[in-house]
C-alpha cells in the first residue's frame, strides 16, 4: 500500500522544475519610495524620454513589462514575471492537456532551444532531442523573436502539420522535420516488465505522480503473478521536474525513514525539511535510478534522496543541475512574480546547483548515433546565463564534458541496433540488476 499523502497539503502551491514554486510569504516587505532613490529617478527619466521622444507612440504596458523583465533577467534565469497567459501555461504544465507537439523549450541567446520532448509525443516520435535548436517554423525564421511567439506557433489544432528546421550540435547541416500536432495529454507515469525487472518511467512531476507510481508497482506485481520483480528501474531521464510534493511523495514510496530534501533561503521562514514516513513500497527490492542531462530539479531531488539514503544505484549521465526554489508572489488577480528564494539540498547536505547529481555508474547513451558529437555541447543549468553559483567551489572543467573512458561503452549505435538494443542505458540497468546479487547492488557504486 502507498503511504498517506501528507504532501497533499502543499499541492496547491509547490512546483520544482526548470521552474519551481512555493507558497508566497509577503509579510515584512519594505516599501520602496521612488522619490528617495536616485536609481529609481533614472528609471523614471528614461520612461519619460521614451514616451515623449520615441519615433512611435509606446504603450505603458509594454514599457512597464519590459522594465520588469529587465530587472528579473539581471537576477537569474528562473526569476520571471507571469502574466495571465503565463499562468495558463503553468497550469497546463502541471495538470492539463493541449494541442501541440510535446516540447519543453527555452530561449538561448535569441534562439529557441529544446529542453526535452514529452515521451511518446509527436516531437519525441519525430526524433527531436534535448539540445536541438529550432531555427524556422514553416520556413519562417524565428531567431530573435520571443519564446511566447514560437510556442504559440507550434501549438495549434490537432491533426495540422508544421515544418520545423532543426540545427543539431554535432551535425554539419540543419534538417527539416514535419510534425503533425496532437493532443498532448500529460500522463507522467508508465510501467512495463522486462526480464522480471519492473520499469517505472516518470516523465514529469505533475499531479498524482506519487500515487500513480504506487499503482505502477501494483501493476508490475500483478504482471508477475503476484510475485515481486527481481529489481526496479526508475527512469527519470529527460524529466524536467514539476510539483515538489510529488517529488517528495515518490521518494517517500521507496524510503522508510530519513530526510528526503531540505531547502534553505535568505530568511528562516524559507527553511524547511521533508522527511520520509515509515513503510516502503518496494520492500527493499534492488533499485536503479536512470538520469541524464535532461533530468532536472524535482528529478534531482528524487535521485539525490535515493542515492544519499543508499536505497538505489544512480546510473546514466550527470543531471541538469537546477538546485534553486522559486516563490510565487501575487501582484494582482492575473499576474505574479516568480522569484528565486531558496536552494534545496539532498539528505547529505549537497546542493545540486550547477553540478547536478553525479551517477554512481556513468553510462553514456551509446545507442544514440549523435551521442558523442552532442556530449561536448550538453545543455545544463551551468550553461544558462546568470545562473546561481553553487556555494561550493566547483571545478569548471569537470562540468564542461562528461567523459566516459570505459571500453564497454565503445560499441557504435549501428552495432547495438544489430543486437536489438535501442536503449543502451536501460539495457545496462536491467543487466546490472539481473547480474548482481540483491545485497551487493549498492556495492557497485564507484
Active centre residues (catalytic): 297, 308, 322
Phi-psi region of 4 (alpha: psi -120 to 50; beta: other; left: phi over 0): beta
Reduced to 3 states (helix: H, G, I; strand: E, B; else coil), residue 200 is strand
Nearest to 411 by CA among 401, 430, 424, 427: 424
In 3-state terms, what secondary structure has residue 303? helix
Strand partners, 15: 21
From start to end of 266-365, where are the E strands? Answer: 272-275, 287-291, 313-316, 324-330, 336-345, 361-362
Q: Are 161 and 181 in contact (CB under 8 A)?
A: yes
Nearest alpha carbon to residue 171 among 205, 133, 143, 206: 133
C-alpha cell recorded at residue 112: 529557441
Sign of the Cα torsion 60, 62, 67, 69 reads positive
Q: Enumerate residues 6+ apart whose C-beta is below 8 A from 266.
A: 341, 342
Distance of CA 46 to the CA centre of its chain: 38
Q: State the SS3 of 381-428.
A: HHHCCCCCCCCCCCCHHHHHCCCCCCHHHCCCHHHHHHCCCCCHHHHH
Rg (CA), the chain: 23
Extract the C-alpha cell encoding 370. 549523435
Q: How far apart are the first and last CA of the chain?
A: 33
Amino acid at each position: 500500500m502507498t503511504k498517506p499523502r501528507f504532501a497533499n497539503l502543499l499541492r496547491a502551491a509547490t512546483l520544482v522544475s526548470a521552474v519551481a514554486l512555493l507558497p508566497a510569504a509577503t509579510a515584512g516587505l519594505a516599501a520602496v519610495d521612488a522619490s528617495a532613490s536616485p536609481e529609481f529617478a533614472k528609471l523614471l527619466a528614461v520612461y519619460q524620454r521614451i514616451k515623449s521622444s520615441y519615433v512611435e507612440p509606446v504603450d505603458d504596458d509594454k514599457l512597464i513589462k519590459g522594465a520588469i523583465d529587465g530587472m528579473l533577467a539581471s537576477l537569474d534565469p528562473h526569476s520571471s514575471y507571469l502574466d495571465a497567459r503565463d499562468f495558463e501555461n503553468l497550469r497546463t504544465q502541471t495538470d492539463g492537456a493541449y494541442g501541440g507537439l510535446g516540447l519543453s523549450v527555452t530561449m538561448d541567446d535569441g534562439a529557441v532551444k529544446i529542453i526535452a520532448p514529452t515521451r511518446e509525443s509527436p516531437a519525441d516520435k519525430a526524433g527531436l532531442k534535448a539540445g536541438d535548436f529550432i531555427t524556422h517554423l514553416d520556413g519562417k525564421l524565428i531567431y530573435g523573436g520571443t519564446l511566447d511567439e514560437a510556442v504559440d506557433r507550434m501549438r495549434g489544432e490537432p491533426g495540422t502539420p508544421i515544418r520545423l528546421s532543426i540545427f543539431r550540435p554535432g551535425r554539419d547541416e540543419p534538417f527539416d522535420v514535419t510534425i503533425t500536432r496532437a493532443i498532448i495529454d500529460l500522463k507522467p507515469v508508465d510501467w512495463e516488465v522486462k526480464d522480471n525487472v519492473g520499469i517505472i518511467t516518470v516523465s514529469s512531476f505533475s499531479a498524482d505522480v506519487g500515487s500513480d507510481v504506487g499503482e505502477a508497482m501494483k501493476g508490475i506485481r500483478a504482471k508477475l503473478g503476484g510475485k515481486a520483480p527481481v529489481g526496479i528501474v526508475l527512469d527519470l531521464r529527460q524529466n524536467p521536474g514539476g510539483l515538489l510534493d510529488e517529488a517528495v511523495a515518490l521518494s517517500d514510496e521507496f524510503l522508510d525513514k530519513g530526510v528526503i530534501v531540505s531547502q534553505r533561503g535568505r530568511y528562516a521562514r524559507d527553511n524547511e525539511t521533508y522527511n520520509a514516513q515509515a513503510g516502503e513500497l518496494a520492500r527493499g527490492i534492488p533499485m536503479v535510478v536512470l538520469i541524464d542531462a535532461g533530468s532536472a530539479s524535482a528529478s534531482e531531488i528524487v535521485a539525490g534522496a535515493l542515492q544519499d539514503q543508499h536505497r538505489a544505484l544512480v546510473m546514466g549521465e550527470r543531471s541538469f543541475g537546477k538546485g534553486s526554489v522559486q516563490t510565487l508572489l501575487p501582484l494582482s488577480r492575473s499576474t505574479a512574480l516568480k522569484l528565486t528564494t531558496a536552494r534545496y539540498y539532498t539528505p547529505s547536505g549537497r546542493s545540486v546547483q550547477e553540478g547536478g547529481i553525479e551517477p554512481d555508474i556513468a553510462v553514456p547513451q551509446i545507442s544514440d548515433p549523435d551521442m558523442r558529437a552532442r556530449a561536448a555541447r550538453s545543455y545544463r543549468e551551468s550553461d544558462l546565463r546568470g545562473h546561481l553559483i553553487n556555494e561550493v567551489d566547483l571545478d569548471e572543467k569537470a562540468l564542461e564534458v562528461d567523459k566516459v573512458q570505459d571500453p564497454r561503452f565503445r560499441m557504435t549505435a549501428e552495432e547495438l541496433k544489430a543486437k536489438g538494443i535501442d536503449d543502451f542505458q536501460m539495457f545496462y540497468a536491467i543487466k546490472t540488476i539481473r547480474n548482481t546479487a540483491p545485497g551487493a547492488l549498492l556495492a557497485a557504486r564507484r
